[in-house]
Chains A and B, each alone.
Chain A
Amino acid sequence: MAVNVSEPAGDDRPRSSLLYDPVFRSIIYQVLTAIIFVALIWWFWNNTLENLRRANIASGFGFLNGRAGFDVGQSLIAYTSDSTYLRALYVGFLNTLLVAFTGIVTATIIGFIVGIGRLSHNWLIAKVSQVYVEVFRNIPPLLVIFFWYKGVLAVLPQPRDSIHLPLSVFLNNRGLAFPRPIWGDGAGAIPVAFLVGIVAAILVTKWASARQARTGQPFPSGWTGFGLILGLPILTFLALGSPLSFDYPVAGKFNLSGGSVVGPEFVSLYLALSFYTAAFIAEIVRSGIRSVPKGQTEAAFALGLQSGVTTRKVVVPQALRIIIPPLTSQYLNLTKNSSLAIAIGFSDLVAVGGTILNQSGRAVEIVAIWMAIYLSISLATSLFMNWFNAKMALVER
């Protein structure tokens, strides 16, 4: 192995062979790598074109405007089999976002409960939480999905013997039926009121902290914000004369009619992803809270802060700093794991794309669309989380 000797500037010793010059060697290596890489891409490209030509498959994204010709099980927007491929992919994309969003919310709640449970002084709670984590961390997510889909939901009763839960919610092997809200005239003002409430709450919080910094007088901005965010929409709702009625599911002779139904595919995917990811989130929460030194709590007590205030103002802000980056990657994992929907036929992005791939044979285009969309989701999430992380980061003097 050659030894590189970096020479001080202005040295007039005769240079050794150019072969031993690190700069020269690094250029050679890079040029070689680039040539090999480009040649490989060129070779793949030519082979692909040749193979596509022989199989008589056109290339390009024009096929997306063709008629889809297949139905999807669940759709957030209007869709029929006469819609275009593009519309079908959009349906799949929205379904992916739906299951990812609901899953993230539920997994975070379960994960925080279990993670705090593992730190409990209560032996029983700690052990139960530990068993939960060790079980779910060590089995594949696909198995959990199958467990819910084939093991639990498939053996629920037929629609005519549906399990009747409170509030007109029915559970059977075709999914979960619940009352569908029907909004009356002027209901569009409610989300507007909600947004106004959020903005007002942010302004009040800013004003309150400025006032506290100036005069030292605290202001209950938390409760005020809570009241604004919830109260404004409720007041609007009442002022408009309660423009809301429900379409209740009714048990018929063979099937339920009315109401909204979410299929067993969505329910099992949602439950499986939530339970599976919660185990990982629990571990993140546990390590985050454990990483706050005990001295911080003791110092807070010594300053006379009460237990609740200590947790809110001292422990949690420091723990969040540790928790947020790995939490982000778990959120992304959940989003990516939602692609397992294809195994049980929930029409998410990958399942819809797979159907299109089988119908049209456009492998390259479909895989490219998948990658582009998942990469953008990943990138958008990490950008947002980086911003959030920078906001939470320790400001050192």
Chain B
Amino acid sequence: MSSHFVRTQMLAPEAPPSNTTGPGAWLRQNLFATPKDAVLTIMGLLVLAWLVPDAVNWLFIKAVWSGADRTVCATTEQLGGIQPAGWSGACWAFVQSRFTTFIFGRYPIEERWRPILVGVMLVALLVPLLIPKVPRKGLNALLLFVIFPVVAFYLLLGGVFGLSHVETSNWGGLMVTLILSFVGIAVSLPAGILLALGRRSRMPVIKSLCVIFIEVIRGVPLITVLFMASVMLPLFLPAGVNFDKFLRALVGVSLFAAAYMAEVIRGGLQAIPKGQYEGADSLGLGYWQKMRLIILPQAIKLVIPGIVNTFIGMFKDTSLVMIIGMFDLLGIINQSFSDATWATAVTPVTGLIFAGFIYWLFCFGMSRYSAFMERHLDTGHKR
């Protein structure tokens, strides 16, 4: 008979001390941990209390949601206004009335089914490509990056199959922003990979050409590259070759993005251990096989955040084409401020907040997706 006692039943766990649970403890730990924290919290709350009610009031409560022209958003002190003196609020009626212009620009109204169809096709092809579980990625990518651009080109420009011709100068709004970004992304990634490989090449001629291109483009602002594309490209080509303005902007944006992309990808290439190169060599793979099968898949996976950052930067940079006289989303919104139908004191702020929201939505979406992809592709090799 053993003399010691062994408990056979576990005790029920004790509840945590009451001062570490509940909202009170959360407040104490996160907002009032030290006197300095408390001061900061109170100052922050005061600033928020000063800003947030005014902002909500301006954006939603005092805002005008519908109306036909500027009278609904102008005060009685201004010509023909109906709002009381001293009123200020967002003029969403302006955004609502101009919404289709903001999306399509001056694309003819009866032909707008064409950009809508292109948009639907883009979503139908892009969404399955972005969801990792959907099979047949190769076919999907082929459709999106080879077939779709051709179809979209003829559908948007027209002039064939009985479609009426729509000048690119009539394109505008979000449509132009998306086209520029799509082409920029589709061109800059492969071009960037080639430039990065060229920069790491052992052939001095190819290496120095790539280095010069990358460093010159990265050293100057996009606006000078766009000016170069818009005023110097026509000079470079033989007389009589007419180069569409839209195409020139596309060339400028793509060249610019490719140089930045090249540097991002070079970072990935440099991070691949030498053993991977030697391993590929010892298997007897040629240069392109080695790059395609061994090096690039690893390198690109490493730099996904950088690649998406470049995409986001390029999406934002497309707004610069308004300076060379094109009407992308920001350009068309900016142009609509001078329209007498809607000229009021609050129109510009409202329009810019709307534009900012659209840009923010796309860029934030891209950054979230890249974070998701990073987790999804993480194979646990992180040190």
Contact = CB atoms under 8 A, between A and B. Distances in A.
Interface of A: 1-4, 26, 29-31, 33-34, 37, 44, 47-48, 50-52, 54, 120-125, 128, 134-135, 137-143, 146-147, 150-152, 154-155, 336-337, 339-340, 342-343, 350, 354, 357, 363-364, 367, 370-371, 374-375, 378-379
B221 interface: yes
Contacts of A350: 221, 223-224, 227
Contacts of A3: 284-286
B138 interface: no
B330 A367 contact: no
Given A44-B236, A123-B31, A146-B352, A357 B337 contact: no
Nearest to B218: A378
Contacts of A141: 316
Given A34-B205, A139-B360, A367 B239 contact: no
29 contacts: A3-B285, A3-B286, A26-B202, A26-B203, A33-B205, A37-B209, A50-B239, A51-B239, A120-B40, A122-B37, A122-B40, A124-B30, A125-B41, A128-B44, A135-B360, A142-B319, A143-B330, A146-B352, A147-B356, A151-B352, A155-B346, A339-B224, A357-B227, A363-B227, A364-B232, A364-B235, A367-B232, A374-B221, A378-B219
B227 A367 contact: yes
B33 interface: yes
A120 B38 CA distance: 12
Nearest to A123: B30
Which of B221, B317, B348 has the most chain A CB atoms inside 10 A of its CB? B221
Interface string B262-286: 0000000000000000000000111
Contacts of B334: 146, 150
Contacts of B121: none
Contacts of A357: 227, 231
B252 to A, nearest CB: 12
A33 B323 CA distance: 35
B359 interface: yes
A336 B221 contact: yes
B70 to A, nearest CB: 15
Interface string B343-383: 00110110011011001100110010000000000000000
Contacts of B41: 122, 124-125
The 10 closest A-B pairs by CB, nearest first: A138-B363, A123-B30, A151-B349, A336-B221, A30-B205, A140-B316, A378-B219, A339-B221, A150-B348, A140-B319
B45 A124 contact: yes
B289 A151 contact: no
Interface string B161-197: 0000000000000000000000000000000000000
Interface in B5-58: 30-31, 33, 37, 40-41, 44-45, 48
A378 B221 CA distance: 10
Nearest to B48: A128
Contacts of A340: 223, 320, 323
A268 B134 CA distance: 47
Nearest to B283: A3
B203 A342 contact: no
Interface of B: 30-31, 33, 37, 40-41, 44-45, 48, 202-206, 209, 216, 218-224, 227-228, 231-232, 234-239, 284-286, 288-289, 312, 316-317, 319-320, 322-323, 330, 334, 337, 345-346, 348-349, 352-353, 355-356, 359-360, 363-364, 367
A337 B221 CA distance: 7
Nearest to A151: B349
Contact of A121 (B37, B356, B364): B37
Given A154-B348, A378-B219, A143 B209 contact: no
Given A1-B289, A125-B40, A139-B360, A48 B220 contact: no
A37 B238 CA distance: 17
B220 A140 contact: no
A367 B316 contact: no
A26 B231 CA distance: 37
A371 B231 contact: no
Contacts of A142: 319-320, 322, 330
Nearest to B357: A139
Contacts of A125: 40-41, 44
A52 B205 contact: no
A138 B31 contact: no
A122 B31 contact: yes
Nearest to A40: B236
A48 B235 contact: yes
Nearest to A375: B219
B345 A155 contact: yes
Contact of B319 (A143, A154, A155): A143
Which of A2, A124, A337 has the most chain B CB atoms inside 10 A of its CB? A124
Given A30-B206, A123-B31, A143-B352, A47 B219 contact: no
